A = this chain, B = another copy of it.
Amino acid sequence: MSNSLTRWSTPPKKVIAIHRVYPELDCGCFAIQRVLGESIQVEADIFAHGHDRLFCRLLWRHEKESLWHSTSMEDIGNDRWRGTFLVEQLGKYWYTIEAWVDRWGSWLAGTQRRLPTDPDWAIVWEWGAWELAQFLERAQPEDRRQLEELREILLSEKISQEEKISRAQDPILHKITLRYPDPVCITRYCRELPVQVDPKRALFSTWYELFPRSASRVPGQHGTLRDCEARLEYVARLGFDVLYLPPIHPIGRTARRGKNNQPTAAPEDPGSPWAIGDETGGHTAIHPQLGTLDDFRQLVRRARQLGIEIAMDLAFHCSPDHPYVRQHPEWFVRLPSGQIRYAENPPKKYPDIYPFNFEGEGWQSLWEELKRVVLFWVEQGVRTFRVDNPHTKPFAFWEWLLSEVKQLHPDVIFLSEAFTRPKVMYQLAKLGFSQSYTYFTWRNTKEELTCYFEELFHTDVAEFFRPNLWPNTPDILHEYLQKGGPPAFAIRLILAATLSASYGIYGPAFEVCEREPREPGSEEYRNSEKYEIRHWDWDTPTPIRDLIARINRIRREHPALQQNRLFRFHWTDNPAILAYSKWTADGKDRILVVVNLNPFHVQSGFVEVPIESWGLPASGYLVEDILAGIPYHWEGNRGFVILDPSKTQAHILWVRGP
């Protein structure tokens, strides 16, 4: 006996191959992401040698549970199996797969294929009775009677062949046998795979960004958190449920930037809110001109009454005046000589910003302090964070921080503001960010949008990356908006709000269609609020304000738009017309969006309607444009549209049926 065999102490029971489990991220290193109430459909190749039938089940448990739940998996052909479970608690879940030979099912299958004239029927019954005896050894008392009964029938010489076959095929009995596999014959998949479960708003959220210092009703006056509070009703009326504030902390004076990012500031210039910290405080302080911590808490409370979450900005760097700079010079990037270095990305320099050194000698106390900062704001009621430039900080830091915070507060969500290379953006999502900024702003043509959203929604990216689409941000005013004017704003709004379950706008610049670049060819706003206080027209009704309110109401009323999983593009015969649909698993809500991507010219054409898969009669069905409130009666698998961008940029069609 060679040594190589001794690794099996018992006979090598039938090993079942379990491969290509989906979803599974990087061999289970990272969690897939879901929100409360979502289901997870798990598939795997499961097979063994020979002809035996298998039984496969999906196991899952919440991290706080010690026992597994289970559900049987379905054979969907070509040795692929599928099962589904639902996540109903925040936090982490685990899932895996078990399989074993369905011995009774295999015996039955062989029995059913036998000819009535087979000379071996006696042997068949003997074998069946023996199988039943094995189950009997393991069965609970309540199941023993049925097994015993059938066993006696099979062995009886008084009972006819037909009667034996008919009794053996009892499906209830088959189910009983599946409860009692020989434990040593169960193959368990080699990994347990994680799921991170976030609150529903990690998937479905509608963001509004405003600079509190521009919120005052009095032109030229520095806005306050109380002014912000007064704007909440406006934000709620437009239908937003997250109000994101750029940093509200004291702003440094050293190397403060002037208007339009001038290298020197005039005495009245307020500086960039991202130059965080002065002698009065840093990441846990409120800028004195904005108000007090009490004002902030009041803002959070009042917002929540209106169904709005306040999102805080986490910008982990300092102005040179931040207290950390004196207290903890070891936390910063320093020259060999010890001098602290400001941020730069040659040839660009940011002398008003000192980056942290996340991997330097002081890393442990720095990491702990930043965690304290997050928990401080959680204490004040914040449950939503927008993280500035996470891609310039270590992956290990985010993995640790997000997991620490979620362990204490699984209802907290984080939006990653990483505009960087695709793989780095995806990695941050895998490390635990709940939502991410995207390349949407730079995807304007039909081909660009189709490619990008196929990648986001129809590859494994959909398992961990939740896009949050922004037509504009304080940093990005795309040429499409600059040149296309109000129709372009409407088109981009409709795309953002209906392509993804989460989107946001930077306002009121968006509502008033602010579109002057700093200089020709620039994507920066002229007179950007990043460097000065602006006074906006908040009150005049505009078509865009009306559109925003309508589209956000549609999003709330239509669950199909609150998810990204059930989505597809549709053929159209016009390269300027993009069509796509979203629907719910129960088939009750189906939204077909048809957008004219050309903000200048009328476009018309035909759009594919998948009447077969939607169960619509070719003879005719109702599609209701819920944006315009106009019903259309369409027939067959093509719908005709004509879209004049000066009036109607898109149809949002609720596909009602016959």
Contacts and interface: CB of A to CB of B under 8 A. Distances in A.
Interface of A: 1-2, 4-5, 8, 11-15, 17, 19-20, 26-27, 29, 45, 47-51, 78-79, 110-111, 113-115, 118, 123, 126-127, 129-130, 190, 335-337, 339, 341, 345-347, 358-361, 363-365, 367-368, 371, 391-397, 400, 403-404, 421-424, 427
Given A337-B126, A394-B49, A114 B79 contact: no
26 contacts: A1-B364, A2-B368, A2-B371, A4-B400, A5-B367, A11-B360, A12-B358, A12-B363, A12-B394, A12-B396, A13-B359, A14-B394, A47-B421, A47-B424, A47-B427, A50-B391, A50-B393, A51-B345, A78-B421, A78-B423, A111-B346, A114-B346, A114-B347, A115-B346, A126-B335, A130-B336
Nearest to A358: B12
Contacts of A12: 358-359, 363, 394, 396-397
A115 B347 contact: yes
A108 to B, nearest CB: 11
A67 to B, nearest CB: 26
Given A17-B395, A78-B423, A126-B336, 13 more contacts: A1-B364, A8-B364, A11-B360, A13-B359, A15-B395, A19-B26, A19-B427, A47-B424, A49-B391, A50-B391, A51-B392, A78-B421, A79-B423
A371 B4 CA distance: 12
B404 A2 contact: yes
Given A110-B346, A127-B335, A392-B49, A11 B79 contact: no
Contact of A363 (B4, B11, B118, B397): B11
A361 B11 contact: yes
A32 to B, nearest CB: 15
B5 A427 contact: no
Contact of A27 (B4, B27, B337, B404): B27
Given A45-B423, A421-B79, A394 B15 contact: yes
A27 B11 CA distance: 27
Contact of A123 (B1, B4, B17, B335): B335
Nearest to A115: B347
Q: Please give me the 8 A-B residue pairs with the lowest Cβ-Cβ distance, nearest first.
A: A130-B336, A113-B346, A27-B27, A79-B423, A114-B346, A12-B396, A115-B347, A11-B363
A1 B369 CA distance: 10
Contacts of A364: 1, 5, 8
A395 B8 CA distance: 14
Contact of A359 (B1, B11, B51, B363): B11
A49 B424 contact: yes
Contacts of A421: 47, 78-79
Contacts of A127: 335-336
Contacts of A50: 391-393
A359 B48 CA distance: 13
A397 B8 CA distance: 11
Contacts of A341: 123
